[in-house]
Structures are given as structure tokens and as C-alpha cells.
Chain A
């Protein structure tokens, strides 16, 4: 069971390029994920305090993001610094967007809705990561984990008969290993009925880019299919029971 007060991934790192923004949801809360020109990622409430426009529709310039609607500009702390309609105004400190703790780890951007969530328990990348895909499914995170734990993984590198091992790094991150290969699956609770899976390969780009990505994307798409199409329940009916009905 995951909640917005725990650290959860909200995007693959490579999905948010420098000077871009995107909208997402975490436990029903609308969030903007954006990356400033120095490469630092930010996760905020996706709402301009002025008229409520989504900041994910805005544009990033340097180290601030500007609302699409009236151009109000916010610095990396969420503080409004400039209102184009009132260029001489010293903007009150009360005009501020709620910002959330943000970390980048394991090729994903992580956040938590709780200000006192404690440190993120995801080890720093030692070998690097290669992005595969973010997938979205219409079911709970618990249902995703149940299917994930039943999966097997054919390795890419060598040894087709290698055994699959699946372990939880933390409640929102699972490691799936087979042979020399290791996938990391970040689980984002969008709502109680919708979940995102952020899939990366733990390994060197020169080994996995291209063929490795395609190999594990195929596995991830199979995982999504199994999540969305659980085995149908079957019922055993005896021939005698059928005869009695007839």
C-alpha cells in the first residue's frame, strides 16, 4: 500500500528534458514536474495562485517557470517574483506555489506530499540506468504489485534459463533480476484506480541502449497486458449436475 505521503516516482528522468514541464498526479493531487535550465528537477502543486491555471501548461525560462495565462513568474522555491501587468510591484511573499521535496534517483524523479517524509531510501545509481518506458494502467498499485511478483524475466545479456528474482527496494520500487540483468520498476499511485509504472534498466547505456531497451519494453508491455487482463475464473461443473439441470 502506497500513499502520497511516501516517496514515489512521478516520472522517468529522461522524460523531463531541461527547460520543459509536464503534469502528473500523485494520490489524486495534480502536480507539475519541471526541470530548470541548470538541470534540477522540481515538483510543485500544478496550480497558479492567481487564477488556478495549470503551471504544467506554462513555460520554463532560466530558473523560473511562468504561467501561460498571465505570465506570473515563479522562482525555484515557488515564490512569485514578477507579475508582467505590474512590473514595478514588489510581489508579496504570500503569493507562492506549494512545492514538494524532490529527488532524482534510479533514473526517476521522486517526490512526496509530506514535508516530513524522511530521506528517500533508494540507493544512488552505481552503474547508471537506461530508461525503458512509463506505462499507465487502470488498477490499484496493490494489484500491479500482485501481478509483478508473479512475472518471470528472460535476460537480455546471457543465460536464457536464468532464474528471476523480485524484491522490494522500498514500497514504491521493485527490482526484477535475471542473470546479469536488473530492471527497476517505480510504482506511482495516480489515484486508487490508476497507477503508473516507471521502468528502467540498471546498467550501462553502451550495453542496453537499443536492443536491451526493446527487449525489456516487450517484457513491460507483457506485464501491462497481464495486469489489465487477469486470468478469468473457471468453474468445474460435473456432468451429473448438468444432467440434473437438463
Chain B
């Protein structure tokens, strides 16, 4: 069953690297990804897909690419 969620990743981020990483993971997990905003402090996205895959996406992005440090993730229903 599909769900839709908003995720806000905050920390020390290179937005281009983080967004590329997020898009790659979303393609791999076959979920829908929409980037709402991205800057050096926060990346705000909406994702849609099976809840287990949204969990996997959140976990992967909480680690992020090697040059980004994610300090917090806030997940809300979208």
C-alpha cells in the first residue's frame, strides 16, 4: 500500500550532491520523489511509495553522500 510523506533533512549539506544522491536512491527503490527545496542547511522532499521503501529511502538519505552530514530528519504525512 502506497503512502506519501514529506521529509526534511537538515545538517551541513551540499545541495547538488545530496539531491543527486536522493534521486539515485529513489530510482533504485522505484518511489516517486519531488524536491521541494534544497540549500546548504536543509533539503525538503516529498516521496510516495510502499511504506517499507519510504523507510529505506529515509535511512539511506539519513546517511547521505560522503560529503554531507545529516543531523536531523523530520517526517510528516503529506
Question: What is the bound-complex CA distance between A184 and B22, given in angstroms?
Answer: 50
Question: What is the bound-complex CA distance between A93 and B53, given in angstroms?
Answer: 13
CB distance from A74 to the nearest CB of B (A): 14
Which of chain A's residues have a CB closer than 8 A to the CB of B31? 92
CB distance from B72 to the nearest CB of A (A): 23
The answer to whether the Cβ of B29 comes within 8 Å of any Cβ in the partner chain is yes
Say which residue of B27, B28, B53 sits within 8 Å of A89 (CB atoms).
Answer: B53
CB distance from A130 to the nearest CB of B (A): 45
Determine if A89 and B50 form an interchain contact, defined as CB atoms under 8 angstroms apart.
yes
Which of chain B's residues have a CB closer than 8 A to the CB of A89? 50, 52-53
CB distance from B53 to the nearest CB of A (A): 7
Q: What total of A-B pairs shows CB separation below 8 Å?
A: 20
The answer to whether the Cβ of A233 comes within 8 Å of any Cβ in the partner chain is no
Question: What is the bound-complex CA distance between A93 and B49, given in angstroms?
Answer: 13
Question: What is the bound-complex CA distance between A92 and B53, given in angstroms?
Answer: 9
> Closest B-chain residue to A94, C-beta based?
B30
Interface string of B45-78 (1 = CB under 8 A from A): 0000010110000000000000000000000000
Which of chain A's residues have a CB closer than 8 A to the CB of B27? 94
Determine if A86 and B52 form an interchain contact, defined as CB atoms under 8 angstroms apart.
yes
Question: What is the bound-complex CA distance between A88 and B51, given in angstroms?
Answer: 11
Which of chain B's residues have a CB closer than 8 A to the CB of A49? 28
Which of chain B's residues have a CB closer than 8 A to the CB of A93? 30
CB-CB contacts below 8 Å: A69-122 with B: 86, 88-90, 92-95
Interface centre among A86, A88, A93 (most CB of B within 10 A): A86
Question: What is the bound-complex CA distance between A213 and B18, given in angstroms?
Answer: 57
Question: Would you give 20 A-B contacts (Cβ < 8 Å), ordered by A?
Answer: A49-B28, A86-B52, A88-B52, A89-B50, A89-B52, A89-B53, A90-B50, A92-B28, A92-B29, A92-B30, A92-B31, A92-B53, A93-B30, A94-B27, A94-B28, A94-B29, A94-B30, A95-B28, A95-B29, A95-B30
Interface of A toward B, CB cutoff 8 Å: 49, 86, 88-90, 92-95
Q: Besides A94-B30, A95-B30, 12 other CB < 8 A contacts?
A: A86-B52, A88-B52, A89-B50, A89-B53, A90-B50, A92-B29, A92-B30, A92-B31, A93-B30, A94-B27, A94-B28, A95-B28
